[in-house]
Amino acid sequence: MLSESIRPYFEWCGKTWLGTSVRDTVWAFPVIETFHLLALAILLGSVLIVNLRVFGLGKRYLPAAQMARQLEPWMLLSIGVLIVTGIPMAFSEPDKCFESVSFPIKMGLIAIGIVTQLTIQRKWVMASDAPEGKAKLAAIVSIVVWTLVGAAGKGIPYV
């Protein structure tokens, strides 16, 4: 649970045009959530395809580094869509987000996932000359972090 000192920020979010519009329009939240979940599926699918390739699974004729470079635009686009759709969903349910144990965990994991994607994933998986051990470590971190982001997101209404 978050500190009471930031409750006014969450209350403000709920009172903004964005928060009230999404909350008061019957179809807005389900449509936004649909795009949010589709982006999560594309991200997790891309992460799994690339990172399982690091372990020798999947299309063996395509090196993991090349596959990672080809799928990175999909990963980055998915992360962008997740952020763009996640903001209005959070603004429309500020009390739920504030009271949820999962919400701050998800936000922290997203930050970790983005940082690792833009640093170690690029350096150790996308580089053709990266050491195999480091590439496997980056792959494990990526799979675990992005899977936990999805799990934490599903936990927001319940935990």
Say how far apart CA 26 and CA 31 lie, in whole Å: 10
Task: Give whole-number Cα distances, 39 to 1, 97, 114, 132, 154, in Å.
Answer: 27, 20, 15, 29, 14
| Helices and strands: H and E segment counts in the chain | 7, 0
Tens digits of pLDDT across the chain (159 residues)? 578 889 999 999 999 999 999 999 999 999 999 999 999 999 999 999 988 988 888 777 788 888 888 999 999 999 999 999 999 999 999 999 999 999 999 999 999 999 998 898 888 888 777 788 888 999 999 999 999 999 999 999 887
pLDDT of residue 93: 94
Pair 4, 73: CB distance under 8 Å: no
Could you tell me the residue ranges of all domains in the chain? 4-155
pLDDT of residue 16: 96
Q: What is the pTM of this model?
A: 0.86
